[in-house]
Structure formats: C-alpha cells, structure tokens
Amino acid sequence: MAVNPDSHIPIYEQIVEHVCGLIAAGVYRADEALPSVRGMALQLRVNPNTIQRAYQELERGGFIRTRKGLGVFVSTQGATSAQKKTENAILERFVEGIDLGRKTKLGPARIQTVFRRAMRSPRRPADPNDKRTET
Amino acid sequence: MSKYQNAIEIRNLGKRFKDTPAVQDFSITVAPGRVVGFLGPNGAGKTTTIKMLMDLLRADTGTISLLGLDPTEVATAIRARVGYVPEQQNAPRWMRVAEAISFCRTFYPTWDDNLCDQLIRLFSLDPSKKIQSLSKGTKVKLTLLLALAHRPELLVLDEPMAGLDPLIREELVDGILQTASDHPRTILFSSHTFADVQRLADEVVIIHEGRLLAQSPVDDLLAKTKRIRSVLTDGAEPQKNPKGTIWQQRSGREWLVTVNEFSQDTIDSLKAGTDLENIEVIDLSLEEIFKDFIRGQRSELCA
Amino acid sequence: MRLRILLWKDFRQQTSFLLASLILLLLPYLIVSVIFVVVQIREQNSTPWYDYFRIASIASLIASMINFSFFPANAIAGERADRSAEFFAYLPIRRSEAVLSKAIVSLALSTGVVVTCVAIMYLSFKVGRIERGPSWEERCLFVATLMAMFGIAWGVSSFATSATYAAAAGIALPICYGVTLALLLEEQGLPSPQVATIFSLSCVVVGPTCFAAGVRHYLHRVKP
C-alpha cells in the first residue's frame, strides 16, 4: 500500500479512501484490528498526525471505532458503509463520464452503449507508472 | 503536555547582510507537536532564519522564543533540548563515528543509548569508520542520529534531503518517523522535495525574499488553493482579480487565476466582473501551489 | 566528564600540529649529525660530539618557541577553518568550558614541548661540562617572549577564521616589535640590557592582555 505524496489529494484523504477500499474488499473484516497509528505511519512513511486524522475521519464515517487502550477496529457495519462509499465513488466517476458525453453532444443511447462496452471490457492491468497502484 | 504554549514563536524577525535584506518582518508560531515544512526558493532566507533560531546568527530586529525560552539568553540550555541538522555536515573529519557519538552523548542529559543503537542499525552506520571517509548521505544520517538520539523536544532540519538519492531519503524519513511517532515532538524542516513535505508536514510556511508568504495546514492549503481556468468571450478583458489571488496569467483568450481562498464566491465574483465561458476549477498539488505563490510574487515585482 | 571529553577533543585537534612540531624539533639534530659525520670524515681532530649536541639542542629550543604560537593559533581558528566549529557550536557546550579546555590544551602542549627542549639543552650543557647557563635576564626575556607569542596568537585566533594568520601574527609581531625597539632605543644610546628589560616588560603586558581579549571575544561571539 502506498500513498502518492505528489497528488493534489491530501494524504489523509488518500488514506481514508485506501482503508475504505480494504474494508470494502474484506481485507479487514468487522471487529478486526487495523494497524496502530505508529505502525501505519511507519508503513506508509507519513506523519503520525496524518494517520490520526485519517482514523478520526474513518471513525466519524462509522467505518471504524476506537477501543480505549486496545486500538482501532473495523466497526460492525464497516463493510456495508465502505461498500456504500465505494458506490458513491463509482457514481461520481460515472457522472463525470456522462458529463463529458453531454458536453460533446453524444446522445443518451450512445452513452449507454459506451457503458455496456466498459462493463464488457477486461480489467485494465495495473499501470506500472501509476504511483497509487498497490505494491 | 508542555510548559510552553508555542514550541517556536518568531515575531517581526529582521536581518540584513550589508545592504541586502535577508529576512524582513518575519513572524510565525508553531504549536507543540506540529510538523512544519519550511518552503522557499534558494536564497529566500530559510537558512538565515534557521541559524537565528539556533542562535548561530543574531537578528537585527524582532524576537525569537524556542520552547518558551529566549535563545539569545540561554542558548546552551535550549540546545540540550533541540536537535539540529544543518545544511552542511561539519562533524570533525578526524573523528570516528563511534567517537562522535560518545562525544555528543556527554553533553545531552536525555541521551537514549537504546534509541542510538536502533538508529545505528536503521542507518547501517559503521562505528569504526572515520567521518572523512563517509559519503554525503552517510554524514547526513550520522548528523540526524546525533540530533535524534537525545530525544529532543524540537527538531530543526535545514534541507536534510538535498542532493541525496531516494533510498537514503527514505531511510532518513524512517528515522524521523520512528522517533517522532514514539513521542510527539515539534519538527521544523526546510526542503525542496515536495513529496517529503507532503508526507511529513502538518503545515507549511512559505518564505520568499525574506518575507512570509503563507503559513497554513497542508490540507487546508490543498483544499482552498485552486486554479481557475476560463476563456474570455471575444473582446472581454479581465476586470479585477478575485479575492485571494496569488497568481494570474493570460495567454490568448485563456485566463488562469490561482486563488488561495477558493469558494463559490470566487466563481461568482469572476463572472460578475468579466464575460467568461468554460469556467473550470483545477486542483493543485503542493508543488504547483508553491510555484504559483512564487511566480505571483515575481510577476508582481516585475510589474 | 564534560571537561575531560573536551580536553580529549582539543588534544586530538592539535595532534597534526604536535607531529609537525616534533619533526621541527628533531631537524636541528639531524642537520648537526650530518655536519658532524662529514667533518669527522674530512679532518680527524675535530670538535667533540657534545659541542655539536649543544648547538643542536639550542637550535631546537629556539625552534620550539614557535609552538607557543602554533598551538593557541590552531586552538580556536583551526576549528573554524575546517568548519567543525559549527558542529560544536550547536551542541550544548558552554562557551566557558570550551574556552577553558582549549586554553589548557594549548598551554600544556606548548609548555610541554619547550620544557622538554630546555631539559635537553641543560643535559647538553652538563655533558659538555659547561658551567654557565643562561643568565636570569636571558631567562626572563625568553619567558616574556613566549608569553607575548602565546597571547597574540590566541587573541588573533579568537577573531580569525584561519590558524595561519594567527600563528604568523604570534611569531612575527613580537620579532618585529623587538627589532624595532632595539634599533630605536639603541640609537638613543640605551644599553642592550635595558632595551631587553623594556621589551620583556611590554611582552608581559601585551601577552596576557591579548589572551584576555581573545577569551572575552570567544565568550561573546555569536558566530561559531
């Protein structure tokens, strides 16, 4: 797992998104512990304050909860919430695509054709130049 | 947690070298536990400011308070609680690594032998080597070890990563993080490597020609600084810049404006002043934001 | 503990100078030995070896005087020249302990070297059965000159960033002053012993004054 320190997206947001992805994918299941702030800071090579902030955001979103003295755990509804968040992210990207279609005067029918093509297309291999792909 | 309100407090700092002002009316405060990236082009006054913090140089005007104390009065007491990595590595060339460590150890009451051993392993330092035979990167590692092993409350780093390869930079970042995450401490580091700044810093301070341009949390800066790209309709001329403009440029009909207090009002005020089409809001990376700040200042000076 | 490790550091800082000075002190013996051997080969009944030994030991003692300029010159400015002064400056070392250690080491080293040379010279006198050593006036003149050399070199070293200038000042200034004084006063008809006394007295004043000025400057200087 890596963060992209050159991105315009603040690092804490990148971490929130990444941890959400892991929870949605079932890498961390309900009631399982996440790495400690220190552990995560060393693993991702970022300031512990940033991890703290990302965990606070995740807790506010209901994905995780802190147990005093024990650490940070995925909440019971964590996976559902994370999937919902992923759905929203997909929706956002669709909207972006549809906007682009509208701007270039493609009709709804043609946009739908493109959508179906996208669903059929094989999964894109990971781009080695993309710093945010998992390592 | 601390006996002082701010780990660093600089008020109206000024320093001239002969006729050239190096630092002018510079004021910042850094709360305990914050990690601050100190950014500025070469010759902006970063090193001069840091040297004044460490009382290696006296200011002409203004005051400095480190850990609640005045470095011009109790420099030795402050130095025992501050770790400093200067731009140039000046450890005596004739000393061996082990000698440099045991020499420095004597003067710090808070020296931690376990941490020191950990850092020796992390940085793969050979204690029997003479300092004159070390590479630049290894010298920086040794200086960082000496600055960290006494568990300072404040760590001041002057371009520690400059000219080092990515692997050594990672080791240095690991060393800083390992000690910083055990016990929250304040860090001020100047750097040209934006990736490192974005990884490590909670906030940034931008200095240009000795003056403070901005002090802001990194996340706020990224969230509030946006570049707006728009196309002027035929014959239209940009009227006035929106609030918080730090840089703007026109090429043909394209008008680019970077603002650091972006909100919906920014777009409204742009539209109200000038006939525009295709308004697009662009997110910027820390490096782009920094460049726009400096370019904006430079073009202002040219105008 | 702090002073001990500072003394160690300042001694190590001076080791290359110590080495250079030892070579310098052995040089007269080498030259005189060569001359002795050459003379022995050429003519049979020549001067005895202890006369050569005495000449070498006196030359060595005179050469050793410059140590009173080298060590103090290197003590402060030497660290600035190799920039290690900056490294020591940001460690929590009090200026007072730093300057004390430097003063002890440079004084101990220069005195040590000169005292050794004096001892060897007296040994050569004894071997050569020379009864009359240097007079009290000569001894005073010698010690006063050393004081001036040490003080001036130390004072300049405290202000300078180059040990060379400080060492040169410590050697050259007393010599120039002595020569000028002798020329001026002897022209006025003053006998040599009196000129020497005036010179010695002024050295005794100038040396410690320069030393004190150097210490004061070092304690108050902000730049490393």
pLDDT of res. B302: 54
d(CA B266, CA A35): 41
Contacting residues of A for B287, CB less than 8 Å apart = 6
Q: How confident is residue A1, by pLDDT bands cut at 50, 70 and 90?
A: low
Kindly list the structural domains of chain B, giving each domain's residue range(s) and its CATH number in brackets, ordered by start. Answer: 8-217 (3.40.50.300), 220-302 (3.30.70)
Residues in chain C predicted with pLDDT less than 50, given as ranges, are none
The most confident of the ranges A77-81, B39-43, B102-106, C182-186 is B102-106
Range in B20-29, B265-274, C58-67 with the lowest mean pLDDT = B265-274
pLDDT value for B301? 59
Record: contact C222-B108, CB cut-off 8 A: no
- B 72-131 residues inside an 8 A Cβ radius of A: none
Which residues in chain B have their CB less than 8 angstroms from residue C79's CB?
Answer: 92
Position A124 scores a pLDDT of 62
Stretch B63-82: mean pLDDT, rounded?
94
B256 phi, psi to nearest 5 deg: -110, 130
The fraction of chain B above a pLDDT of 90, given in percent, is: 69
Query: Is the model's pLDDT at A52 over the cut of 70?
Result: yes
What CA–CA distance (Å, rounded) separates B179 from C31? 61
Chain A: residue whose CA lies nearest to B170: A45
Per-residue model confidence (pLDDT) at position A133: 38
Chain B, 82-101: which have a CB under 8 Å from a chain C CB?
84, 86, 88, 90-95
Chains adjacent to B (≥3 CB pairs closer than 8 angstroms): A, C
Q: How does the average pLDDT of chain B come out, rounded?
A: 91
In this structure, whether the domain defined by A11-78 belongs to CATH 3.20.20.210 is answered with no
Distances in whole angstroms, Cα of residue C123 to Cα of each of B258, C53, C109, C116, C126: 87, 10, 21, 11, 5
Count up the domains in chain C and report the number.
1
CB contact under 8 A, B92 and C87: yes
Reported as a pLDDT band with limits 50, 70 and 90, residue A132 is very low
Q: What burial class does residue A13 get, using C-beta atoms within 10 Å of its C-beta: 0-12 exposed, 13-18 middle, 19+ buried? A: middle
Tokens of A8: 């315009």
Query: In this structure, what token pair is assigned to residue B64?
Result: 């400095």
Encoding tokens for residue C127?
A: 């071997």
State whether residue B277 sits within 8 Å of chain A by CB. no
Closest CA to B292 of B237, B188, B221, B200: B221
Task: Check residue A125 and give its pLDDT.
Answer: 55
Alpha helices in B157-285 (DSSP H): 166-182, 194-200, 218-224, 264-273
If DSSP codes are grouped into helix, strand and coil, which group holds residue B206?
strand
Cα of B301 to nearest chain C Cα, Å: 33
Q: What is the pLDDT of residue B1?
A: 45
Token readout for A13 is 């947001």
Q: Which helix (H) or strand (E) holds C202?
A: helix C192-220
CB burial of B105-144 (b: ≥16 within 10 Å; e: otherwise) equals bbbbeebbeebbebbbeebebeeeeebeebeebbbbbbbb
Mean per-residue pLDDT, B74-94: 93
Q: Does B285 touch chain A if contact means CB atoms closer than 8 Å?
A: yes
Contact: C90, B58; criterion CB under 8 Å? no
pLDDT, tens only, B197-207: 998 999 999 99
Residue with tokens 């995560």: A40
What pLDDT score does C190 carry? 85
Which residue is closest to C88 within chain B, CA to CA? B91
Find where tokens 């020329």 sit. Answer: C183
Contact predicate B240/B205, CB 8 Å: no
Q: Which residues of chain C lie closer than 8 angstroms to B91, CB-CB?
A: 84, 87
Nearest to B3 by CA among B98, B69, B84: B69
C12: chain B residues, CB-CB within 8 Å: 94-95
Amino acid at C142: F
What is the domain range of residue C191?
2-220
B202 touches chain A (CB under 8 A): yes
Highest average pLDDT, of A99-108, B102-111, B276-285, C182-191, comes from B102-111
pLDDT of amino acid B2 = 55
Q: Where are the domains of chain A?
A: 11-78
Secondary structure element (H or E) that encloses residue C155, with its range: helix C136-159
